[in-house]
Chains A and B, each alone.
Chain A
Amino acid sequence: MSTNSLELEAPVTASTKPAARNARLDGHPLMPYLLVLPATLYLVVFQIFPLMQELWLSFTSTSLLSSGQSDWVGLANYRDLIGDPDFRKAILITLVYTVVCVVAAISLGLLSALLLDAPFRGRGFARAAVTIPWAAPPVAVALVAIWIFNAQYGVFGHVLRFFGLESGALNWLDSMNYALPAVLMITIWQIFPFASVVILAALQGVPHEQREAAIIDGADRLNVFKAVVWPTIQPSVMLLALFSTIWSLRRFDLIWLLTQGGPVGATNTLVIDVYRRAFVNQQLGQGAAVGMVGVAIALVVTVIYFKYTARMAKAEQR
């Protein structure tokens, strides 16, 4: 695992690797450790230590009201979760939320990147403007979204009613059926520009001659994309998928302010569930257990990603 993690940088640094190898020869052998020490200590204190504490909490029955006393209960919290329908629903909601976010953000990102890749007047402006959602603070986005989705006066309902759609009479964020789609729409709006920027940057590496040769050969657009464009941008898209997955698994403020996980758990992702159990139900131990499950899922996704990219790299060498 630890060596595989360097795959992350492989595409960019391949050319500079030999130089870096020589560099180790000079300087004191302890120099690199000295350089990484402050940040490592910092992360141990503010990330690793709290994580360990949270892990420990997950084996206790600590409550927010009596955090002084906490009894060791072993795996009881985890066992309770297995039989808890709310928790099962939270897992399902998390998976749906994450998969839709990742697929939609990357598809929209790819589409917009292809649009903004071709030359046209005002392209620079368009490339900058499309990233606005990504720069907007989630709390402000949540607030304006709540207003836009307001059942009576929100502009979203106005538009739906204009097209004669009955769902325009509902407040989507308050509806069992429409809350998750609404939260997804808002999230995707906020995150797709990141995918767009990354894919647009990757598109700059597509070899022009090959692309033109393929067009001259009479290949249609889809085939050019498959044969020339996709292989170049594929590593970036994979990395994007990994990061979007991890970020979607841990997204909190936007969802919390939009729906607090409701109505009746319709948008209750694992991270919302962690917060809800800890601060609303005041069950710190239970909340911690849910959090650990979330981290485990993120870890599994990451391992799959690295295994997959490692296999891809091997296949290419052959």
Chain B
Amino acid sequence: MNMSSTRHTLRLAAVLALLGAAAFPIYWMFVTSLTPSGNLFAARPQLLPSFSELHVYKDIFAAKPVGRWLLNSAIVAVGTTLASISLAVFPAYALSRFRFRGKGAIGFGLFTTQMLPEAMLVVPLYALFAKVALLNSLGGLILANTAFTVPVVVWILKGAIDGVPLEIEEAARVDGCTRLGIVMGVVLPLIAPTLAAASVIAFFHGWNEYVFAQTFITEDRLHTASVGLAGFVGELSTPIHSVMAVGFLYTLPAVAFYLMVQKHVVAGMTAGGVKG
């Protein structure tokens, strides 16, 4: 009995250490944002936030177009999510339900696109977007991002559709539903948790994306939060607690959103056979 209680204590200690390590940088971002300037460069770091410093969060909105940045990121993220899901649903259904020539090639093609780094395709995509006036446009960013999320989303949705019993579809067909009606009205509601998971992954991609947003956008009012925040690297005129406040505002929605739908993400990813 004693042995197992020691083991239990050890396990709890390990779990606490793990959670501490996982949360620390985010916590540190928050603490730094609420550290008075005088203490930022003290010999001993301040370990707890000073809530009297909360005005920093008001001040940065006046000093930098933080609201604009976050709004642009949100537009890109939501646009990427909507475009990815609408493009991915039907191919996912086809890959799950049909056998057809070229299916293997399409599956492999989808997988191959996972190997292409954004930083490499940024040159040809820039040239392409310049020709069709998609530079300096959030729509252009959405188009570029969606190309990188569609393959993943297709894989995840396909895995979930695989798990929907065919009998349910057949019953709907007997009732006179069209194929489109079956996909929209029967299959999609059944895989709602996986749709949520795939949406989170697409949303994150759009919210986090940096290379295209940095290269394709030159107009200040169209900058996303990733680019605005990256602009602080090596810049010395903005105090570090303001930088961390912007970073925290940019991190918080992503983490909160993720934690809200976290269960579905895990379930969805597992259903997709972990296509990541």
Q: Which residues of chain A have a CB within 8 Å of any CB of chain B?
A: 1-3, 5-6, 8-9, 11-13, 16, 19-24, 26-27, 29, 31-33, 35-36, 38-40, 42-43, 46-51, 53-54, 57, 67, 112, 115-116, 118, 120, 126, 128-148, 152-153, 155, 158, 189, 193-194, 197-198, 200-201, 236, 239-240, 243, 246-247, 249-250, 252-253, 256-257, 271-272, 274-275, 278, 284, 287-288, 291, 294-295, 298-299, 302
Contact = CB atoms under 8 A, between A and B. Distances in A.
Contacts of A9: 158-159, 162, 273
A144 B120 CA distance: 26
A291 B117 contact: yes
A271 B274 contact: no
B8 interface: yes
24 contacts: A3-B104, A8-B155, A20-B96, A22-B166, A27-B98, A36-B95, A38-B91, A46-B125, A46-B147, A48-B109, A132-B22, A132-B26, A132-B255, A137-B207, A137-B254, A138-B208, A139-B230, A143-B232, A143-B243, A144-B244, A193-B22, A200-B266, A250-B117, A302-B112
Contacts of B225: 137, 139
B93 interface: yes
A38 B154 CA distance: 13
Nearest to B164: A16
Contact of B94 (A32, A142, A243): A32
B21 A189 contact: yes
Contacts of A153: 40-42, 45
Contacts of A243: 114, 274, 276
A255 B260 CA distance: 29
Interface of B: 8, 11-12, 14-15, 18-19, 21-23, 25-26, 28-29, 32, 40-42, 44-45, 87-88, 90-91, 93-100, 102-125, 127-128, 143-144, 146-148, 150-151, 154-155, 158-159, 162-163, 165-166, 173, 179, 204, 207-208, 210-211, 225-226, 229-230, 232-233, 240, 243-244, 247-248, 250-251, 254-255, 257-259, 262, 265-266, 269-276
Given A135-B258, A288-B123, A147 B240 contact: yes
A275 B119 contact: yes
A12 B230 CA distance: 40
B121 A252 contact: no
Given A24-B100, A126-B18, A139-B208, 16 more contacts: A5-B107, A8-B111, A8-B273, A21-B99, A43-B109, A47-B147, A130-B19, A133-B25, A139-B229, A147-B28, A147-B244, A152-B41, A155-B28, A250-B118, A295-B120, A299-B112
B44 A158 contact: yes
B140 to A, nearest CB: 11
B64 to A, nearest CB: 14
Contact of B143 (A24, A46, A194): A46
Nearest to A186: B25
Contact of B98 (A24, A67, A246): A24
B70 to A, nearest CB: 11
Contacts of A115: 11, 14-15, 18
Contacts of B11: 115, 118, 120
Nearest to B20: A129
Given A5-B108, A12-B159, A47 B91 contact: no
Q: Which 10 A-B pairs have the closest CB atoms?
A: A46-B147, A250-B117, A50-B124, A2-B104, A35-B94, A291-B120, A135-B258, A5-B108, A32-B98, A12-B273
A229 B90 CA distance: 37
A281 to B, nearest CB: 13
A131 B93 contact: no
| Residue in B11, B115, B272 whose Cβ sees the most chain A Cβ within 10 Å | B115
Given A5-B111, A198-B274, A201-B269, A13 B162 contact: yes
Contacts of A130: 18-19, 22
Contacts of A118: 11
Contacts of A194: 276
Contacts of B25: 133, 136, 141, 144-145, 148, 189
Contacts of B28: 144, 147-148, 155
B72 to A, nearest CB: 14
B128 A50 contact: yes
Given A50-B121, A53-B124, A120 B251 contact: no
A132 B233 CA distance: 23
